[in-house]
Copies of this chain bind each other. A is one copy, B any other.
Amino acid sequence: MNEKYKILETFDNQYPDRDYLITHVQPEFTSVCPKTGNPDFGKITIEYIPDKKCVELKSLKYYFNSFRNDGIFYESVVNFILDDLVKVLQPRYLKVTGEFNPRGGMYSVVVVEYPYKKS
């Protein structure tokens, strides 16, 4: 899984002189529970302020798709995506939210932030 970030493509931010917020929401995220082997489902939300680069939408979709058959915990999904996107985009700010469907009646949300820093 360590090379997954290579799926992500970028394009040049056309408006680098101002801060603005880009949000991408994938309501069809799925991976596999590492304990039971059953599929997990959830919604992943990416919010970021770009610096020099923006993430290309189609490659982001393929990146999310690549988790489809991985065994990974909720807490790790969200932190892992944050690390990959920070590596690839070096953004001014980034936040990842994972909202996961109920299991055993109970559902979970995990939120991680990369704090604002002006380049």
Chain A residues engaging chain B, CB cutoff 8 angstroms: 13-15, 18-28, 30, 38-39, 41, 54, 57-58, 60-61, 64-65, 68-69, 75-76, 78-79, 101-113
Contacts and interface: CB of A to CB of B under 8 A. Distances in A.
A20 B107 contact: no
A26 B75 contact: no
Number of copies: 10
Nearest to A65: B39
A5 to B, nearest CB: 17
Contacts of A15: 75, 79, 112
A101 B109 contact: no
A15 B82 CA distance: 11
Contacts of A23: 108-111
Given A58-B104, A104-B61, A111 B21 contact: yes
